[in-house]
Amino acid sequence: MISLDLADLVVAAGAKSVAIVGTAKNVGKTVTMNYLASKLSERGHVVGLVSSGRDGETTDSFTGEPKPSVIPPEGTWIATAEGVLGEAAGSLEIADVFEKAGLFGRLVLGRVRDAAPLELVGPQSAKELATVVGRLHEYGAQVVLVDGALDRVAAASPFVTGAVILSTGAAAGADPTLVARSAAFIVKVWSLRRPDDPEVLALASEAIDEGHVAFLDGLSGSASPGCSRGSPREAPGRKTSRYVLRRTAFGTVLGREEEVLSQAKGASFIVVPGAVSETLLSGAGGRPEGDRLAVITKDPTNLFIRSEPEVPVYVTREMRLLAITVNPVSGRGMSYDPAEMVAEVSREVLRSAGKSVPVFDVVSGEQEIREVRDVVVG
């Protein structure tokens, strides 16, 4: 086994921005963010913090349970709404104020003069988050940490952050086995790959950039895994050597899955620029064996599913999962042995998702690292 601190893993990975996404409330996401901010600052890195929603309030607004505060180290750059600053405003050097006002007022960017608890409130859309992350970098943040969650997963999109850490824990399931299985399923979804065929990737990227739901009709001699061989179409589209990109009038499949799939004909792939629902995947998998469609979407955060898809699913932009953190204690009194929970999550991810991901409990120090991929350590 390899021994490595989570902060050193982030540094070794060269990640300039990292989303920390929780599988449920009270799974230790804020604790992980505070830990990384502190350790990275100790190592001389200027940290930036932003949330894709709200984080750092002392009491959960839904459950009423106490929550840990966000405590940025001195020198940290933060983005938050002016309406939640309160007394923390005195500990900030305000550098910029956005014009657009949200529910809690305008977004402000500032540098922490004195470490003090504060709330983070930020935009939920991927586009706005990416803008804020970029601005924090411009002001000097070397590593930006983005608070996220499965119900506001835009933070984890590779169009927003360069890497992601998944936080889970006792609050996410009735027992460690269920917690581990849930985490493993998410890891499997987040590990989706690009299509092997560069032509398919290029055409799918084109449709996604344009915001069109589209089909790829395979010319004679070409086929996608598990899909039928298509034939040239007369419909408007740009022909290539092996596929035809056939655009539709749809910008989304949500609520119109059956109507969209009725236009598939003999296509090999369906390209979806936005959210991919279980209804669409079920419909694509329910077609006759020789006519099943492979699905291509922008990135894994576009998939809103709870079960294994019956058809191949690809993405045009892959995610980079650095690690998993676990919190073996829930806010409702459940507590498990840290070493056992770390080991259970590590084993289940390897068994179910077929890959090894470093697992940490940043409070107890327990960790299990079987291997570290795409990272130069030492």
Q: Which amino acid is at 15?
A: A
Give the position of tokens 């620029």: 273
Name which of 113, 47, 118, 43 is nearest 80 in CA terms.
118
Q: In degrees, to the nearest 5, what angle opens at C-alpha 6 toward C-alphas 5 and 7?
A: 90
User: Can you give the pTM of this predicted structure?
Assistant: 0.89
Token duo for residue 22: 């929780």
pLDDT of residue 232: 36
Domain locations along the chain:
6-191+319-368, 198-315
Is 275 within 8 Å of 252 (Cβ atoms)? Answer: yes
Buried/exposed 44-59: b ≥16 CB within 10 Å, e otherwise: ebbbbbbbbbbbbbee
Q: Rounded to an integer, what distance in angstroms lies between the CA atom of residue 240 and that of residue 203?
A: 9
Classify the C-alpha dihedral 86-88-94-96 as positive or negative: negative
The DSSP call for residue 118 is: B
Classify the C-alpha dihedral 269-272-237-210 as positive or negative: negative
In the chain, how long is the greatest CA-to-CA distance?
68
Q: Rounded to an integer, what distance in angstroms lies between the CA atom of residue 55 and that of residue 47?
A: 17
Domain at 6-191+319-368: CATH code:
3.40.50
pLDDT of residue 132: 96
Strand partners, 304: 277
Name which of 337, 333, 338, 287 is nearest 310 in CA terms.
287
Look at residue 192 and give its three-state secondary structure: coil
Is 298 within 8 Å of 201 (Cβ atoms)? Answer: no
Cα 324 to the chain's mean position, in Å?
12
How does pLDDT run along the chain (378 residues), one tens digit per residue?
677 899 999 999 999 999 999 998 889 999 999 999 999 999 999 999 999 988 766 666 666 667 788 999 999 999 999 988 887 777 889 999 998 878 888 999 999 999 888 899 998 888 999 999 999 999 999 999 999 877 778 899 999 999 999 999 999 988 999 999 999 999 999 999 999 999 999 999 999 999 999 999 988 655 554 343 333 333 445 544 789 999 999 999 999 999 999 999 989 999 999 999 999 999 998 887 767 899 999 999 999 999 999 899 999 999 999 999 999 998 777 899 999 999 999 999 999 999 999 999 999 999 999 777 665 444
